[in-house]
Structure 1
């Protein structure tokens, strides 16, 4: 029996320990599993439940994730998944969250071609709006990627999975962070340094996410100059080749300014919102006068 099968079997065994009834497994990862569950008290009310095995090592990790996510939910934003409650049973920690019924952003990618620029822009605007809200509360996500971006009804993007999140403000001052792991293809190059700023990490990961939407794939394994694909991006040696030569010039310019190894030159979220591509109205030759975000 695999570890994921074991978790599912154990969860079914203690299915009566929570106020929700298990419906089906939605996914799994190194953290554990996510299940769709339905309220025993309110028929039809469904939640996504993140399950992690009870252990001393997991306790503080899960509690930190819950505390951060709960504070974000207390303020609330349409582009951030809402968390309802945390429960500990003899076997599991449960995090009960809003269920986004249209899957992940990665599942929205067409099978063989890039996403249309119009749709990519729509989702990216929502991602930037959600990150502005999160950063405004002194939190950095540190694991932005298409699998951690859920899609709800009306194509509303929702940031989820705050397992790597942490605070970057203390007493009104920004503090530097240390590396605690992530997804190598989405990590910013400065994570190899002993200390680094928080917000630029999410900006970088958001840029890689946009790149994936418009190129149909991650173009490097890790952001180090030893990686040939990454080095060619930083040095700009292949920009006249596919897929860059087919890309909107305003979009390519935006990606170059987001995915720069120089943290001081990397665009902020506010600068991204004001960029020409973000103000471009597809279907029209005119650019919008105002930045469109979903509040």
Structure 2
């Protein structure tokens, strides 16, 4: 662990992207945590403009379902963006591959997504890369839209422009985006529809929305009912999806249309009953202006000027101004490793309960074997399944004994990279998997297969909490 600036410790990687990493930064006294997006300009000199645009847009936004922006720090060859830390993990990790999730849960997250996108559009902002991997959850299970690297302003002072840039993730991209130009709002709505399919069915309907794709053409021509994922869905779900995933943007449902549809207004509960109710769980905050409108003119039609240099101390002031702001629960076990080192006291009962909930949700399991035997079994499985892998040994410094980087391809022949971390906790070995690159659903599908393949060493039965990370050898 290294001290980033006075009082703040740089922790482990939370995620990886095209231009850099997202790391945890923790206040070593209070335990407060933020996510720090690091962009290496030396490796990616073309990223400077993207950072300018992303931070300018993010400063405009203040909504309960959008990751909050705290500040920026600029150095000659590095940009740092400080963001709210969503301790509940990624939405895709809640989706059971090929099954989905209960309809009441899908409706909850979809309502919160629509709430966030409606707010973005009210500010004239298009996200342009909506997908489960960019939807995070806070400690209260509320959805947070993240990653505004592809976002843009499409409307300013009542004037709207068509967009030209072909961007996004192919299975979630609207058909008109592949042809260009296109209107921003229908394209974001389309992505929301694909996310809803993933939530309800645990799979994506097609690789991309083009005439060459058989599954997409079957949907367009109404010849889909015998095909997956549609045969898994009830009639009301299909009814709203037919309106959201309309090929022609001008006939596609608007957000207002979605909010009035019966699927959206009925109040589904855990028991499977429903009552008519159009209340959005975790509704929008009122629109908040964090920038003067005239300051956005340059951003709308071209790249903005770089904001003044900020430092982490200004971010800390933001922390102190936010009552009750504290992220004590990490979403990944390697983050717990950091927090355990920093905090001398034991977790409170609330923290233990939250951590126990997180463990049930994430892609991880305990094993009965020691670390070396666990790695051996994992590597045997990977070799049998023709995976490419690389082993890193961090045991001396972090007690994170091994990290295995696993590389493969998904169903669309696209790269899929994820990591398995072996961590000692009170004499037990935790195997913790984390996605690095690729489709979250496919990652979850692979994880489940690996877990089944290692079933004879997976620890069965309940775990006694709290379990502490072994930190005896930590610096």
Comparing both chains, which one has the higher relative contact order based on Cα–Cα distances under 8 Å and sequence gaps of 6 or more? 2
Please say if 1:60 is aligned against 2:49: yes
Q: Give the TM-score of the pair, scaled to structure 2.
A: 0.56
Q: Which residue does the alignment assign to 2:162?
A: 176
Q: What is the CA-CA distance between 1:243 and the residue it aligns to?
A: 3.4
Question: In 1, Cα distance between the equivalents of 2:229 and 2:198?
Answer: 11
CA distance, structure 1, for counterparts of residue 274 and residue 147 of structure 2: 38
Match of 2:31 among 19, 40, 44: 44
Alignment match, 1:187: 173
Task: Encode CA deviations 1:44-68: one digit per residue, 9 max, x unaligned.
Answer: 1100111111254221110110000
Contact persistence 1:102–1:150 (CA under 8 A) = yes
d(CA) in 2 for partners of 1:16 and 1:130? 32
Larger Rg: 2
Structure 2 distance, partners of 1:241, 1:217, is 12
- Structure 1 counterpart of 2:127, from 119, 141, 166: 141
CA contact (8 A) 1:164 1:180 kept: no
Deviation at 1:31, TM superposition (A): 2.5
Query: Deviating runs (4+, > 4 A) in structure 1?
Result: none
* Contact 1:34–1:48, Cα closer than 8 Å, also in 2: yes
1:69 aligns with 2:55: no
1: CA distance between counterparts of 2:126 and 2:236?
A: 27
Determine which of 32, 46, 59 is the counterpart of 2:20: 32
C-alpha separation in 2, matches of 1:90 and 1:19: 23
TM-superposition CA deviations, 1:221-277 (whole Å, max 9, x none): 111010111111111212144432331211101111101111011001111111110
Compare 15-24 and 126-135 and name the one that shifted more. 15-24
Looking at secondary structure, tell me which structure has more strand per residue: 2
1:23 aligns with 2:11: yes
Could you tell me the TM-score, scaled by structure 1's length?
0.89
Question: 1:116-265 alignment to 2 at 5 Å?
Answer: 116-265=102-251
Shift of 1:117: 0.6
SS at 1:201 equivalent? helix
Structure 1 residues 264 and 90: alpha-carbon distance in aligned structure 2, compared to 1, 3 A threshold: same
CA deviations on 1:186-218 (whole Å, 9 max, x unpaired) are 110001233110111110001000111111111
Q: Structure 2 vs 1, CA of residues 69 and 284 (structure 1 numbering), >3 Å: closer, same or farther?
A: same
With over 3 angstroms needed to count, the CA separation of the structure-2 counterparts of 1:198 and 1:105, relative to structure 1, is: same
Counterpart Cα distance in 2 of 1:248 and 1:186: 22
Contact 1:179 1:192 in 2 (8 A): no
Of 161-170 and 89-98, the range deviating more from structure 2: 89-98
> In 2 relative to 1, CA 270–19 (structure 1 residues): closer, same or farther, beyond 3 Å?
farther
RMSD: 1.8
Q: Aligned partners of 1:95, 1:19: CA distance in 2, in Å?
A: 18
Query: Residue 70 of structure 2 contacts residue 83 of structure 2 at CA under 8 Å; is this kept in 1?
Result: yes
Residues 274 and 291 of structure 1 are in contact (CA less than 8 Å); yes or no, is this contact kept in structure 2? no
Distance verdict in 2 for CA 1:166–1:19, change over 3 Å: farther
